[in-house]
A and B are shown apart, each in its own frame.
Chain A
Amino acid sequence: MRSTSALLYLSGVTVSFDGFKALNNLSLLIEPGEMRAIIGPNGAGKTTMMDVVTGKTRPDSGEVVFDGRADLTKLDEANIATLGIGRKFQKPTVFENHTVRDNLLLALAGLRKWHRLLLAQPTKSEGDRLAEILSIIRMEEQQHMLGARLSHGQKQWLEIGMLLAQDPKLLLVDEPVAGMTDVETETTAQVLREINKTHSVVVVEHDMSFVRALGVKVTVLHEGSMLAEGTLDQVSADQRVVEVYLGR
């Protein structure tokens, strides 16, 4: 395992499903505090890349190192989440049968072991932290409402609150603006920039105007490997990128 100053370091990662190479010798480097957008056509390997980083999929070969010390290919989802990698799914997934407050409580960094939770009593510092997050996401009023009764927008906010509660070092965000209006897309870009002030972020996205609004370094994936990297203007000017993605 190489020592590196990068927060997330992928080198030569290959994943194949029944002979199909979803990732093909992919290398990627995310610096601490960075926000990175990852784009690419369908089947480019964007979601597989996230699955590898979060421990859902084991790579056939290659290195995945987090924070210069943890070999993510040897750990499972729970370990990786505890190390400080959070994941936001395309579809907002909150716990529908739990109140807003309980959703945040479950996400709160700290207690995870079943035998500790059996006798766990609410502590003051937890209560303070929950109150703080509830005020950031402006959901104090709804804190005793069940997740199932929230609107789509409220669910998005709650999920962001859960990520704040989890307090990860690195945040992976999967297609956050799928199915959103232009105004909502712009708001989401603002929120992500806000989060990026204190957390490193990797955003996988399809939507070019959204990536432009983020204004960050872009990595283009194609057939499981990196095709180009740079600002959006730079990669847009790249002839190969135009061919595989933008030109279509």
Chain B
Amino acid sequence: MITRFLWQGMDRNLRLFVLLVLAVGIALPLLNQIVPPGSPFHVPAWLLQLIGKYLSFALLALAVDLVWGFCGILSLGHGAFFALGGYCMGMYLMRQIGSRGVYGNPILPDFMVFLNYKELPWFWYGFDNFGFAMFMAILVPSMLAFALGWFAFRSRVTGVYLSIITQAMTFALMLAFFRNDMGLGGNNGMTDFKEILGFSVQADSTRAALCFASAFMLALGLVVSAAIVGSRFGKALTAVRDAESRMRFLGYRVEGYKLFVFVFSAAMAGIAGALYVPQVGIINPSEFSPANSIEAVLWVAVGGRGTLIGPVIGAFIVNFGKTWLTGALPEVWLFALGALFIVVTLLLPKGVVGLWGQLKARSQAKKARAPA
């Protein structure tokens, strides 16, 4: 039954796309590990790290699209779920440093020694275990999404008001995480990671594994999202997006639909954050900044909201642009981002994926007209 559930939502294009994601996630690490550095086919470690980072962003974009594109909930706070997942991974990585920190304390991370902590705060217990930390990386964002969604959806907060609440949530969390007495590293956050599961985070082989893990989780996210969207639940979900009150008068309890997809999406964003942190080597409160969440929404808009492939493509396009422009012309990036937003809103309401569909429809229309 589960296989049928997972299979039902995938059309041919999506199957090919999932295979492509997996192929990238397998080929790049192999080209780094097996091909010698001198060869033109060798993939350098920095590229692996970059692609791995983009893959985790793509998973975040998919999470945003699931609530925005398919349920009409414009979340401007998904960066918070991403960052919470990242912090859970960060806490695990901090505990793995052990006595190799600057202060050499076997239990307390450096920043706690620096801040005169005498013992480990209670909420740090268990984070030395990888399984527990990953469980929390899913559970903590999910619980936050559940609490927020429970009240907001029951009170029928929708549209721009909901967007503002999610934005306020991530801003409040940013301010909280900036405080040193939160016990989570304050404004410096967490960094200087040494090992993940006993492997050095700096090693090429670890980077290769993390890149593969990111691709794998993105592929899994695509498959499960497709199953949800393709089920009868998915039909009801898009109907809620298009005509919420009509669904209520048909007898659907709309809150349940929204809450499920919001919580699932937050969990997905949490996983993305947990994959992101070991690849960039740092997590700090700026990840909660509202601009990050808005940027994630932009990836979805560029790629094509309401499609599953779109957000992945959008995340790659915008982030390649960002990496390139912030290197070449750093002062131009924000203007480019603004211009991109305007262009997409005016000319590409369905994003890059939608453009592809438009061009195809036009060529078909031309073909249909030709014989007459």
Q: A interface vs B, CB < 8 Å?
A: 54, 56, 76-79, 81-82, 86-87, 89, 93, 95-98, 102, 105-107, 111-115, 117-121, 162, 166
Q: Which residue of A lies closest to B246 (CB)?
A: A93
Q: List 28 A-B contacts (CB under 8 A).
A: A77-B248, A77-B251, A78-B252, A81-B248, A81-B249, A82-B251, A93-B243, A93-B246, A95-B238, A95-B239, A95-B242, A95-B246, A98-B235, A98-B242, A106-B239, A106-B247, A112-B253, A113-B253, A113-B256, A114-B253, A114-B260, A117-B231, A118-B233, A119-B231, A120-B231, A121-B4, A162-B250, A166-B251
| B257 → chain A closest CB, angstroms | 5
Q: Which residue of A lies closest to B248 (CB)?
A: A77
Contact between chains at A111 and B257 (CB < 8 Å) = no
User: Which of B4, B233, B239, B251 has the largest number of chain A CB atoms within 10 A?
Assistant: B251
- Fill in one digit per residue for B234-268: 1 if any A CB lies within 8 Å of its CB, else 0: 01101100110111111111101100100000000
Interface of chain B: mostly helix, strand, loop or mixed: helix
Contact between chains at A102 and B249 (CB < 8 Å) = no
* A86 partner residues in chain B, CB cutoff 8 A: 249
* Contact pick for A98, options B228, B239, B253, B260, CB 8 Å: B239
| A175 → chain B closest CB, angstroms | 16
* Contact pick for A118, options B228, B242, B246, CB 8 Å: B228
Q: Which residue of A lies closest to B257 (CB)?
A: A114
How far is B248's CA from A81's CA once the two chains are assembled, in angstroms? Answer: 8
- Fill in one digit per residue for B26-41: 1 if any A CB lies within 8 Å of its CB, else 0: 0000000000000000
- With an 8 A cutoff between CB atoms, is B369 at the interface? no
How far is B5's CA from A95's CA once the two chains are assembled, in angstroms? Answer: 24
* B329 partner residues in chain A, CB cutoff 8 A: none
- With an 8 A cutoff between CB atoms, is B1 at the interface? yes
* Contact pick for B236, options A56, A114, A162, CB 8 Å: A114
| B239 → chain A closest CB, angstroms | 5
Contact between chains at B253 and A117 (CB < 8 Å) = no
| B73 → chain A closest CB, angstroms | 15
How far is B248's CA from A119's CA once the two chains are assembled, in angstroms? Answer: 21
Contact between chains at B236 and A119 (CB < 8 Å) = no
How far is B251's CA from A20's CA once the two chains are assembled, in angstroms? Answer: 30
User: Which of B235, B243, B250 has the largest number of chain A CB atoms within 10 A?
Assistant: B250
| A204 → chain B closest CB, angstroms | 15
* A87 partner residues in chain B, CB cutoff 8 A: 249
- With an 8 A cutoff between CB atoms, is B232 at the interface? yes
Contact between chains at A117 and B236 (CB < 8 Å) = yes
* B232 partner residues in chain A, CB cutoff 8 A: 105, 111, 117-118, 120
Contact between chains at B231 and A118 (CB < 8 Å) = yes
User: Which of A54, A98, A115 has the largest number of chain B CB atoms within 10 A?
Assistant: A98
Contact between chains at B248 and A95 (CB < 8 Å) = no
Contact between chains at A106 and B248 (CB < 8 Å) = no
How far is B5's CA from A117's CA once the two chains are assembled, in angstroms? Answer: 11
* A76 partner residues in chain B, CB cutoff 8 A: 248, 253
| B6 → chain A closest CB, angstroms | 11
